[in-house]
Amino acid sequence: MILDVLFPNRCIHCNRIIDPEFLVCDLCFSQIHFTHYNYFENNPVKEKCSLFFPVENAYSLIQFEEKGLSRQIIHELKYKSREKTGKILADWTTERLKFDDHKPDLLVSVPLHPRKLKERGYNQLHLFTETLSSFYNIAFDHQLIKRNHYSKAQALKDKKHRLESANIFSITQSITGKHILLIDDVFTTGNTVSSVAWEILSAGDNKVSVLVMAEDA
């Protein structure tokens, strides 16, 4: 209570004092470019995924713009120790994404290398995934996929190095006959999502759909 008075929560964009559970004020919220994609129909992120692997469905919550508020939101989550941003993004997702009677069987997020996890202190996708799991009543597995190599953040790589991701991931257990919703933060080249997807598809008679927080415009 005292900390809330001394260090009130502020909008990450305009610095207005806002509710402790919020990320941005109402005015700045209107500046976020939500995609409004239909998960079950063709959309830009599904079309991009289809270039790399057989994808069932795909969805992106927001557009990731180089100088927009969406970039600031993702960077708050990944690089500024604002883990709770993951829950906020998940809440925004559940307001917009409806599975109806066609829910996936399992939620799987792209893993961090143990060294990166230790440096950051958390996986930025875990709270997001767990919040979705609770809302939709879909199981999640943070251990199914293992990242084999340590690498610097995608945002800090040039395009050439982003394309170099062979054998980065491996699957840790037998899984077959499942429809897996693969979760990542930002869809850029599609290389990371593709690498994980092929591990899942190669493991057995599985299907893969994709959910990303943001799609690089």
Neighbours of 87 (CB within 10 A): 16
Give the residue-averaged pLDDT of 72-97. Answer: 95
- Of 38, 41, 28, nearest to 70 by C-alpha is 28
β-partners of residue 182 are: 108, 210
Q: Which two tokens stand for residue 111?
A: 């893993």
Q: Which two tokens mark 81? A: 């120790």
- How large is the average pLDDT for residues 39-57? 97
Distance, C-alpha 37 to centroid of its chain: 15
Partner residues linked to 63 by β-bridges: 215
> What per-residue confidence (pLDDT) applies to 66?
83
Distance CA 23, CA 62 (A): 15
Q: Give the integer Cα–Cα distance in Å for 169 and 85.
A: 26
CA dihedral 162, 163, 169, 171 (to 10 degrees): 130
pTM for this entry: 0.90
Average pLDDT value for the chain = 91
Per-residue model confidence (pLDDT) at position 147: 95
Distance of CA 4 to the CA centre of its chain: 29
What pLDDT, in 10s, does the model give residues 120-150? 999 999 999 999 999 999 999 999 999 998 7
User: In the chain, what are the domains?
Assistant: 1-31 (no CATH), 33-216 (3.40.50)
